Amino acid sequence: MTLVHAFDDSPTLVSLMRLPAEGGVSMDIYVDVNERFIATLGYSREQLLGHTPTELGIWDPMERAAVLEQIRQLGVLNNAPVTLRAADGSLCPALLNAELVTLDGHQYLLTLLRDISTADTPEIVRREAAEQALQLSEEKYRTLVDHSQDGVFITHDGNYTYVNKTYADMLGYTPEQMTGEAFLKFIAPEDHGKINEIWNKRRAGQWEQTAYEINLLKSDGVARILASVRSGPIMLNGALSSTGTIRDITAERRTQQALFQAEQSFRNIFENAVVGMYQSTPDGHFIKANQALAGILGYESPDDLIRNLPDIRMVYADPDERVQVLSGIEQQGQARNAEVRMRRRDGSPIWVSLSARVVRNSANSVAHFEGSIYDITAQKAAEQALQRSEQRYRLLVDHSQVGVFINENGRYTYVNNAFATMLGYSEAELTHLSYRDIFPPEELAAADTRFEKRLRGEEVPDNYESSLLHKDKRTRVIVTQSIGIIELEDRKVMIGTVRDITDQKRFEAELHHNANHDPLTGLPNRTLFIQRLSQAMEQGRHRSTPSYAVLFVDLDSFKVVNDSLGHAVGDQLLIEVAKRLKQCVGPWDTIARHGGDEFTILVDQMERPGDAVEVAERIQAELLHPLQLGDNEIYTNSSIGIATGNPQYLTTDEVLRDADTAMYQAKAAGKAGYVVFDQTMHERARARLQLETELRQALDNGEFRVYYQPIVAVADQRITGFEALLRWQHPRRGLLLPEEFLHVAEETGLILPIGWWVLHKACRQVHAWRKRYLDAKSLTISVNLAHKQFMHTNLAEQIASALQETLLEPSALHLEITETIFLESPGVAETRLQQIKKLGARLHLDDFGTGYSSLSYLSALPLDTLKIDRLFIADAHINPKHAAMVRTIIELARDLQMDTVAEGVENEAQIRLLKQLGCQYAQGFLFAPALESRAAEQRLSGEEVQI
Ligand code: C2E
Ligand code: CA
Ligand code: CA
């Protein structure tokens, strides 16, 4: 039994029959069969077992008898052709191999039947069978074999005994040429080994039919064909022979190989593609998938994907989308680059591009889908980011405060709101206008040039300032534009930004103006004046006649107005004067406020040297008219210095300095006039500068002296005191009088230290004299106080310290002041006077009668003595008018309980008159000039008294 079942998987039909113990062939029954036997003949196992083949009609009784006879003689049977009948009545030709076996004392027949009913079974086999066993008509089969599509051969003893025409044609022979030849001759030498091996096996008793491929030689002895051979051994006339079929499979193999290669490469592509590829069923399963697809969807391998993804719908982010895609594919047969959102195994979303087609079966219903997808998540993200950023930029640009535009071929194709508004248009109005519509006529040519240059690709500044025309066609908007060329959808367009800088420009201009102009009068200031002057100097450098002049204008009474009517009125005055000055000059000329009440005028483009003088005269004539400032009618005038340009001037300072000098000259000459600077002034100015320098050192060098002029009582001409008078012992120029240097000391402020020095020195001297000389116990000392000293805040301190240090009796100190101190600030003057009185010193009003003084203040102020000015004394004895003045002064003083001192008494007549009028004291050359202290002492000691 086991023996039979060993053949269960074999294509061979195997049966085991028990034979009757002796003779009686009708008694052989099936005891076992293999599966193939059952399947091929269509009987069930039950139907077969226990029955004889003749009984079932499987085997023809005559054929069976003949076969059994042969087996009994030989003990074995090889490849005997037999014909069996299947259950359904169909005939099944087979080759029978059988042998007798003895098992457990019984004889059994084991039959191995090779089913030869399949299409490729050589007809020759049947013929052989017919010839040998069934003795069928040879003619009938020969025709069949001869016309077979396959090559057919029979060998006997190493030679072909038969080849059909098909086989002979295959190699390029006739059947006659091959018959009788050794078959090895037709086999390619490289395959002789193979054929020998087969034959060796046959000789060793392997009677299996073999199928093999072999190379045959064509008639030229060189070319080969590949043949598929099926052959089996037969015993023919006692010799081992073979018969078989041959098919030329050269072309088939070539195609096969090509197919195989193609398949191989497609498989390679499929497996290694970066694009995911698949086949899927309509109900949502992957049939096939490649590694790329698995990777895209987050699976390890195609197997992993196919096994673990139960339903393709799960990969769609939106299951409805799959429905849509599928219906699209079904309707159009395919989908191309559909962008679909999918989900990876871990749930993360991806975007893929999907292409798929439907594959239909012969019934035209959907067999499966095949398609490809690739991951476009990154691309999609970039696209979306771009879109978002584009939206953002659009929003930014639309709402930007800066104007933005795109211009194509000169026309605006996009403008933002800021740009349109800047020019008074709506966005729609400005779009489609040409740049030529918004450039003002004066800038159109420049704009055209820029535009054309840019078109030609030439260099144009990216950034430039221009003005644009407002919609109203009049207003100019000053802008800075910045333009670049970009590629937009394959076209070259200009993209630009526009910023309105009108306000900025105005502000800049204002700043510039402020930096160069006086805020009060709006006139150019010193800085601008100097710029213009230096330009004029540069232009005039090469001319023989002067082309410019500088006028230095100083208002004569400004200080008085400012102090008495207040700064507001003072400012008004300056503004008014500025207006009038402007009327006096030409368009080329520059008027500047130099500072305070000083103005400078540059008269430029002069034709005649006299032009500057004419301007000065016009100014003075203009200022003659009174100015109405509020309720006040004010008269003002000016002193003007003129410096005419000449090539010797190197700096603007020099010109201004000379004009200034000339102005001082004009002032000194009595105000309301003008003076043209000349070289002598320059000399004087230089001298003054030198004086100033020397004056500064004089105090340190001990060059100052105090001289003492006696003051006598008119009644007995006894010396009652001295006036301290300053002298300068100049190292080169000898003894200098105050008139030669005092004004410089006052202007420079040097008068303060000098004045305090005089005060101390004189006090000390007189104190010494009072102690030394018996007659001098009540000697007084008169010290002149300069205006600046008087106004100085530490005046009282200085006086107090002088009195303390010198131990002088305070009432012996007489301080001489002039009326000018009341002009400026009467309040301050009054305080000062009270301070001095408090210290116990006396106050003398000097040079009385020459000033502007109204007599009213005399009574209110704590003055002790009036000094009658020398001007009146000089001719009082012969000039009744002056005599009357002197009398009035003396009477006034008496009424106010003040003393009087007459200055400049030079003769007896004068002293007689003074005595007559009741003047108490006198000083003058009649008695003594200012004396050195030693000479004064001689007077005091009486040594040289000559009165
Ligand atoms: P002053 O205060 O009027 O002084 C009197 C001037 O008259 C002195 O001139 C004196 O020499 C002069 N003089 C006296 N008697 C006669 C005379 O009979 N005939 C003529 N023709 N002149 C006479 P001096 O010393 O040249 O001083 C001039 C002025 O300088 C003074 O005028 C005074 O205002 C000022 N001064 C002098 N010394 C000082 C000082 O120490 N401090 C200040 N602040 N001023 C001083
Ligand atoms: Ca004096
Ligand atoms: Ca005087």
The pLDDT tens digits of the residues spanning 774-789 come to 888 999 999 999 999 9
- Residue 130 pLDDT exceeds 60: no
- Residue 520 pLDDT exceeds 80: yes
What's the CA-to-centroid distance between 725 and ligand 1, angstroms? 6
Q: Point out the ligand nearest to the CA of residue 844.
A: 2
Q: Point out the ligand nearest to the CA of residue 815.
A: 2
User: How far apart are alpha carbons 374 and 337 in whole angstroms?
Assistant: 9
- Return the minimum-mean-pLDDT range out of 573-577, 726-730, 899-903: 573-577
Mean pLDDT of 717-746: 96
- Return the minimum-mean-pLDDT range out of 21-25, 843-847, 854-858, 880-884: 21-25
Mutation pick for ligand 1 pocket among 705, 708, 709, 725 (CB with most ligand atoms within 8 Å): 725
Supply the pLDDT for residue 549.
Answer: 94
User: How far apart are alpha carbons 549 and 588 in whole angstroms?
Assistant: 12
Mutation pick for ligand 1 pocket among 743, 761, 818, 903 (CB with most ligand atoms within 8 Å): 903
String of DSSP letters for 816-877: EE-THHHHH-HHHHHHHHHHHHHHT-EEEEEEETSS---THHHHHS---EEEEPHHHHHTTT
Q: What is the largest CA-CA distance in the chain?
A: 217
Protein residue closest via CA to atom 28 of ligand 1: 738
Per-residue pLDDT reduced to its tens digit, 135-182: 433 444 465 567 667 788 888 888 898 888 889 999 999 999 999 899
Question: Model confidence at 893, in pLDDT bands (50, 70, 90)?
Answer: very high
Query: SS3 for 712?
Result: strand
- Three-state helix/strand/coil letters over 881-893: HHHHHHHHHHHHH
Hey, what amino acid is at 799?
A: I
Per-residue pLDDT reduced to its tens digit, 401-448: 889 999 998 999 999 999 999 999 999 999 989 999 999 999 999 999
- The answer, yes or no, to whether any atom of ligand 1 lies below 6 A from the CB of 397, is no
- The answer, yes or no, to whether any atom of ligand 1 lies below 6 A from the CB of 709, is yes
Ligand 1 closest atom vs CA 925: 18
Strands 638-644 and 549-555: antiparallel
- Residue 81 pLDDT exceeds 80: no
| DSSP alpha helix (H) spans, 18-154 | 35-41, 45-48, 53-56, 61-74, 123-129, 138-146
What's the CA-to-centroid distance between 816 and ligand 2, angstroms? 6
- Residue 758 pLDDT exceeds 90: yes
Residue among 603, 572, 744, 626 nearest 674 (CA): 603
Mean pLDDT of 282-303: 88
User: How far apart are alpha carbons 456 and 24 in whole angstroms?
Assistant: 120
Tell me the pTM: 0.42
Strand order from edge to edge, sheet including 91-103: 29-33, 13-18, 106-115, 91-103, 76-85
- Residue 812 pLDDT exceeds 90: yes
Mutation pick for ligand 1 pocket among 784, 866, 921 (CB with most ligand atoms within 8 Å): 784
Per-residue pLDDT reduced to its tens digit, 234-280: 766 667 778 788 888 888 888 878 888 878 887 887 888 788 888 88
CB atoms within 10 A of CB 487: 8
- Residue 668 pLDDT exceeds 90: no
- The answer, yes or no, to whether any atom of ligand 1 lies below 6 A from the CB of 906, is yes
Tokens of 510: 């204002």
Hey, what amino acid is at 652?
A: T
